[in-house]
Structure 1
């Protein structure tokens, strides 16, 4: 792989660089990133292709490897450590309560705060304290592509900013709401880190009490989102779009809430990822008519 050597902190500034080969991922180690180079552009060297990893699935969030599901075997854990050399490895057993606090087990090394870079965005977080929707990567990309400059967007469950930051980078004015104090503090920090603090109004508290005025787009990135529709529907108008997340289909419940609110709309369903056997994480795009 032809690559250029750059400081890790410079990765975010390369999102629009012509020479970057976006079909491959950068290789980062010890604060240095080797960024794949497109044909026809100079490179600093050639890196050997990394061996294909076929072991236990995991997500790498910054320097922390995160596992879900049952505890790994010693061999599985050793294979993960050899493959990505993380600072620490944790297993997330679930999320507790409406604040979505991770229930974790430290399997190796140390955890604590880390910096995660994804598609040109930078996120500070502690994955042992706040959740990070790593599996929603394609949905984040889709949101960033759908948002238009100048839109007024409500992010009702903003977390650390995983939808807020891409939407604001696309030119939206984002009203970001988060109930978890730790996640809210990272939301504010990540807005500044990604230079969109001027387009983000972050508020700490229950989104049902914070919604104000009318929005062109409402992002409802929580599996209990259908139950929050009565509050959201009071702040939309014709042409507004709501992105309602759920586990499994929620069209029937959405249509009931639309009827109760005296609204009409079209519903388009997207599958995000497999959540469990016979269960999908889904997003219903509801366009108000």
Structure 2
């Protein structure tokens, strides 16, 4: 393996994940080189040019080692036909020791029969030596957000523990959804909340947002309607030492009576529950409204829905910000609007 000449952005170690995500979003991150320690407290992130939007300590000339062989390299070394190599997914997520991959968005999907998917899955296990199962991502359905998927390679064990920003999420990917694209938003929720705040997480799942907020010493009422996800929520609160700050409620969030300084609505159709959110949030409190929105209608549509719902109860809305969390599908974004309610 040879080093590649280039530049590196220097950041403090605790910021590694978020800085890398920001550099990638800015289009300056170099995925062909590895992240390396720069000194005892800082890391060097490979970049193609100095960033403009991302805050870094410095940009230096540094030869960082090239990344190890990628999926296409492994497939070619195994003599896989060129059309299958070309059709292989270009991105995937490693959740604990499970590789979660979407085979549905590739241009040459006709080549990816069951055997081809298994071949790609076995190659992914070689690329990610610590993983033991490859799971093909399916859709999410119903109000309980049940995932569909199929094991394509490995042991078939979909139960795992995923660590992110120092938080451990225990889950079974065959029965519980986990969105890698929400990673930065999960971290942000831990940053925006203050110690002692009362939070109402209306769609808590296994603790995606509740855990970072509880770790920041907020008091979280976390509602989850699915018994399986609720069981994991309770387990994860204990696992992360925040059980005393998480009240895990099994049931429909609309039946929960609480007063909150901050209401988190992490569900694509959360606008249908705005009446309950506005009933829970105190004057001066903040609502985080998530929505899957056609790109041309963001953030206008969710803001309009929030204003209309607030007006119906005689309250006002001060929009604090709106951000795109990730791409949901072609032409549709997963976005969130932050608003103060008076």
- TM-score relative to the length of structure 1: 0.82
CA shift for structure 1 position 37: 4.4
Q: In 1, Cα distance between the equivalents of 2:330 and 2:91?
A: 16
| 1:162 and 2:208 matched | yes
CA shift for structure 1 position 278: 1.1
Is the deviation greater in 71-80 or in 259-268? 71-80
Correspondent of 1:143 among 189, 209, 225: 189
Q: Is the alpha carbon distance of 1:22 and 1:288 closer, same or farther for their aligned partners in structure 2, counting shifts above 3 Å?
A: closer
Aligned to 2:125: 81
Say if 2:189 and 2:213, in contact at 8 Å, map to a contact too.
Answer: yes
Aligned to 2:30: none
CA shift for structure 1 position 233: 0.5
Q: Is the alpha carbon distance of 1:21 and 1:229 closer, same or farther for their aligned partners in structure 2, counting shifts above 3 Å?
A: closer
Say if 2:122 and 2:153, in contact at 8 Å, map to a contact too.
Answer: no
Say if 1:21 and 1:37, in contact at 8 Å, map to a contact too.
Answer: no
Say if 1:160 and 1:184, in contact at 8 Å, map to a contact too.
Answer: yes
CA shift for structure 1 position 237: 2.2
CA shift for structure 1 position 78: 4.4
Look up the SS of the partner of 2:136 in the other structure.
strand
Q: Deviations over 1:157-191 (max 9, x none)?
A: 00000101100000100001101111100100000
Aligned to 2:76: none
Q: In 2, Cα distance between the equivalents of 1:265 and 1:229?
A: 13
Correspondent of 1:240 among 269, 280, 285: 285
Aligned to 1:57: 91
Structure with max Cα Rg = 2
Q: In 2, Cα distance between the equivalents of 1:149 and 1:192?
A: 19
Specify every segment of 5 or more residues in structure 2 that has no aligned partner in the other structure, as ranges: 1-11, 19-34, 42-63, 72-88
From the two aligned structures, give the one with the greater helix fraction.
2
CA shift for structure 1 position 211: 3.3
Aligned residues: 256
Q: In 1, Cα distance between the equivalents of 2:40 and 2:140?
A: 47
| 1:108 and 2:153 matched | yes
Aligned to 1:201: 247
Correspondent of 1:219 among 264, 275, 288: 264
Look up the SS of the partner of 2:16 in the other structure.
coil
- TM-score relative to the length of structure 2: 0.70
Say if 2:93 and 2:100, in contact at 8 Å, map to a contact too.
Answer: yes
CA shift for structure 1 position 70: 0.9
Q: In 2, Cα distance between the equivalents of 1:189 and 1:40?
A: 34
Two-structure CA RMSD over aligned residues (Å): 2.4
Say if 2:100 and 2:134, in contact at 8 Å, map to a contact too.
Answer: yes
Look up the SS of the partner of 1:234 in the other structure.
helix
Look up the SS of the partner of 1:149 in the other structure.
coil
Aligned to 1:30: none
Q: Deviations over 1:210-250 (max 9, x none)?
A: 132x1000011000111100111011122100101001131
Look up the SS of the partner of 1:89 in the other structure.
strand
Aligned to 1:98: 143
Q: Is the alpha carbon distance of 1:81 and 1:163 closer, same or farther for their aligned partners in structure 2, counting shifts above 3 Å?
A: same
Q: Is the alpha carbon distance of 1:21 and 1:140 closer, same or farther for their aligned partners in structure 2, counting shifts above 3 Å?
A: closer
Say if 1:177 and 1:206, in contact at 8 Å, map to a contact too.
Answer: yes
Q: Deviations over 1:241-285 (max 9, x none)?
A: 010100113122222111112110122211111111111100011
Say if 1:24 and 1:36, in contact at 8 Å, map to a contact too.
Answer: no
CA shift for structure 1 position 116: 0.5
